[in-house]
Chain A
Amino acid sequence: QVQLKETGPGLVQPTQTLSITCTVSGFSLTSYYMQWVRQTPGKGLEWMGFIRSGGSTEYNSEFKSRLSISRDTSKNQVFLKMNSLKTEDTGVYYCARKVRGTGVMDAWGQGASVTVSS
């Protein structure tokens, strides 16, 4: 059974760094791409970036300067780190499985809610 689950801090202060972990089961990170998508009140759903099955990454230019995506295949985990947080970064952050070759996001985690506030 394919499962994805995000865990994050919930509350982050402005200017600080957000770290979220996506733990997956039922499939291998070396067979699928993993994408991060966020949903904010201001901009709706936005793709943030993804890590390929081989480990290389691509980032949305909107976030490129402050976003990092990495993984630990031995632990079946994918990591999102984004620095210089602003209140506009408040929202729900999802990890999603992206089928290699088609790019279709066919499975999503339940999301990690993040509030940026002092």
Chain B
Amino acid sequence: AQKITQTQPGMFVQEKEAVTLDCTYDTSDPSYGLFWYKQPSSGEMIFLIYQGSYDQQNATEGRYSLNFQKARKSANLVISASQLGDSAMYFCAMREARSGGSYIPTFGRGTSLIVHP
């Protein structure tokens, strides 16, 4: 079963508008982390934001915020005031503990965001 589900293969938004990218996850581990990465057409993966399972407040980083709803197991990314440079693939990922103390991330399939002028 998929551990990270991103149901929106593609999203379109007008420049300066806000957009929400959906992400749901599945885990039985009480301690986990959720994060989002941005992948422009160049291919590099850029870390955007992180939310720990025990964090009481939603994470924010500049124009990025993570809408964490633990009971619903969702971790949606909100981008406010979209810019043309925000056009990219966006990946949601979850980190779970493995035996031996390592933390292994699982990535979703991604959402393609296109910002229109």
Q: Do A and B bind each other?
A: no
Seen from chain B, the residues whose Cβ lies within 8 Å of a Cβ on chain A are none
